[in-house]
Amino acid sequence: MLIQKLRLQRGWSQEQLATISGLSTRTIQRLERGQPASLETMNTLAAVFEVDLSQLTDQKEAEMPNYVANHTEAEEAIAFAKVRRIKKFYLHLIQYVVVLCVLSVINILTNPGYFWVIWPALGWGIALASHALRTFELIPFLNADWEKKQVENHLGRKL
């Protein structure tokens, strides 16, 4: 079925689609593996994807190889984006350590009585911690699920 293709085009996870549609994640997984669905389930998914029911039920065998390739490409793109975000964070961390080492040496050589390097370390450290929270998605109210819920609320759709 085209459910997985439509889901990936929108950048949704299976959990996000389940939340939006009111179906269980298990049902989404089962449907994406090609198992049959009830008419009610298909109507729900057609409404979520804003397509005709006939588009979800009509599937040509010729589309399957392209579908699998698109799925793999989408997964790779998501993985590469995540790895790039992690790489940027580690580069930011290295810059932080190197610059603070240089500033500490300057501080000790110029004014050993007052440890002023603590102020840039504290300010930049807060920014670095924020970067880590975003990169590793440790803030639950700012992750992809939260963004999707906010978009749906602004569009007036029920979750």
pLDDT value of position 92: 97
Select the CATH number that applies to the domain covering 3-59 from these four: 1.10.4160.10, 1.10.260.40, 3.30.200.20, 2.130.10.10: 1.10.260.40
User: pLDDT tens digits for 29-55?
Assistant: 888 888 888 888 888 898 888 888 888
Please name the amino acid found at residue 138. Answer: L
**Domain ranges across the chain:** 3-59, 81-155
pLDDT in tens, 3-15: 888 888 888 888 8
Looking at residue 38, its pLDDT comes to 87
Sequence-distant contacts of 81-89: CB under 8 A, at least 24 apart: 85/135, 86/135, 86/136, 88/135, 89/131, 89/132, 89/135, 89/136
DSSP state of 113: T
